Amino acid sequence: MFMGTHNPNLKLISDSGQRLDNRAFDQLRNIRIDVGVLESAVGSAYVEWGDNKVIAGVYGPREVYPKFLAKADRALVRTIYSMSTFASLEEHGRAGPNRRSNEISMVLGEAFENVVMIEKFPAKMIDMHITVLQAAAGTRIAAFLAGIAALIDGGFPMSDIAAGVSVGKADGHLVVDLNKEEDNFGQADLPIVYSSSDDILLLQMDGKMTREEVKAALEMADTKSKVVMDMIRKAVGAKYEGAISNRLKL
């Protein structure tokens, strides 16, 4: 557990090219996805990504409150990203709505609105509640994953699936899926979400990268996003274990 000020001698990448958690530069942390975990939600998912633990519940389509916010030709996807009171000991682990969680809610919400077929639900609202139970860097990416899995679980028509990773720079090296130390003390952090039709749905950056590094980061994220999308496929499939292997007899 991190205790205090930055040790200037802290090496994020050792002389022999090892990350602090011994991962390769392009290696993801362990990811686990479970869908259909909340009885009361239309769709739900629980995600563990490294030490991140996130739960998402999707509700609706339902009436828009307050009514004046309703859009005549499409649904609103209202996303509420929040951190539980025990999510983290660090500053951005403060619970309750704050600027950071409001911004993440907005950014995730717009990404979800770009995959859900919102024109099928005019004047309705789809509520996405995503709560971080434990934070360990890359929470918005893990939150997005939980949200997407919950939407699929709930049967909301979508044009694509999507997933993302963060790519960052630590001690001058581009690394995928930053851990906590790399996030706190690295030189850049670039969370990206790709859709299954190769569009970018979310793109943010802290820090400083060269143009070549950004291009390389986008490529690395593209490759790894596809890996995460495969995990979504397996997790959703696991819910239907015992699914038909030949003709369905109706």
Partner 1 sequence: MKEIYLPGDKLPASVRVSRLNQNAIRRQGNVLFATVVGSVSDEMFMPFEMVYIPKEGDSIVGIVTGRRNVGYFVDTGTAYEGLILSRETRIELSIGDIVCGKVDRIEDEDTIIVSHAKQLEVGRVLELPASKIPRIIGKEASMISLIKEKTGVNIFVGANGYVWLSSKGKLDKAIAAITTIVNKAHMEGLTDEITKFLGEGDVHGNA
**Nearest-angstrom CA–CA distance, 189 and 193:** 13
Question: Taking the complex as a whole, how short is the minimal distance between the CB of residue 197 and partner 1, in angstroms?
Answer: 6
**Per CB under 8 A, which region of 22-30, 122-130, 134-142, 219-227 contacts partner 1?**
122-130
Structure tokens, 122:
């005019």
- Asked if residue 139 lies in contact with residue 178, where contact means CB atoms within 8 angstroms, the answer is no
Residue pointed to by tokens 């209202």: 78
Radius of gyration, alpha carbons of the chain? 19
Only one of the segments 121-129, 182-190, 204-212, 217-225 lies at the binding site for partner 1 (rule: CB under 8 A); that segment is 121-129
CA atoms within 13 A on the CB side of 167: 26
Q: Is residue 161 close enough to count as binding partner 1 by CB under 8 A?
A: yes
- Tell me the per-residue interface mask from 4 to 43 with partner 1, x by CB under 8 A, - otherwise: --------------------------------------xx
Q: Which lies closer to partner 1 via its Cβ, residue 36 or residue 186?
A: 36
Amino acid at 228: V
Given candidates 197, 206, 215, 219, which one binds partner 1 under the rule CB under 8 A? Answer: 197
Q: Kindly tell me which residue out of 17, 122, 172, 207 binds partner 1, with binding defined by CB under 8 A.
A: 122
Candidates 21-29, 96-104, 148-156, 205-213 — which segment interacts with partner 1 by CB under 8 A?
A: 148-156
- Closest approach of partner 1 to the CB of residue 125, in Å: 8
d(CA 119, CA 244): 32
Paired sense of beta strands 173-176 and 200-203, if any: unpaired
From candidates 50, 61, 164, 186, binder to partner 1 by CB under 8 A: 61
Q: Which is nearer to partner 1, 123 or 214 (CB)?
A: 123
124's CB contacts (< 8 A; 6+ apart) are 60, 61, 62, 63, 64, 70, 75, 76
Show contacts of 86-94: CB within 8 Å, 24+ apart: 86/133, 86/134, 87/132, 87/133, 87/134, 87/135, 88/134, 88/135, 88/136, 89/1, 90/2, 90/135, 92/135, 93/135
Query: Which position among 155, 207, 226, 227 is part of the footprint of partner 1 (CB under 8 A)?
Result: 155
Q: For residues 104 and 150, which CB has a smaller minimum distance to partner 1 in the complex? A: 150
Which range, of 22-30, 60-68, 176-184, 210-218, touches partner 1 by CB under 8 A?
Answer: 60-68
* Closer residue to partner 1, CB minimum distance, 71 or 173: 71
Site for partner 1, rule CB under 8 A: 42-43, 60-63, 72, 115, 117, 120-124, 152-161, 195-197, 232-233, 236-237, 240-250
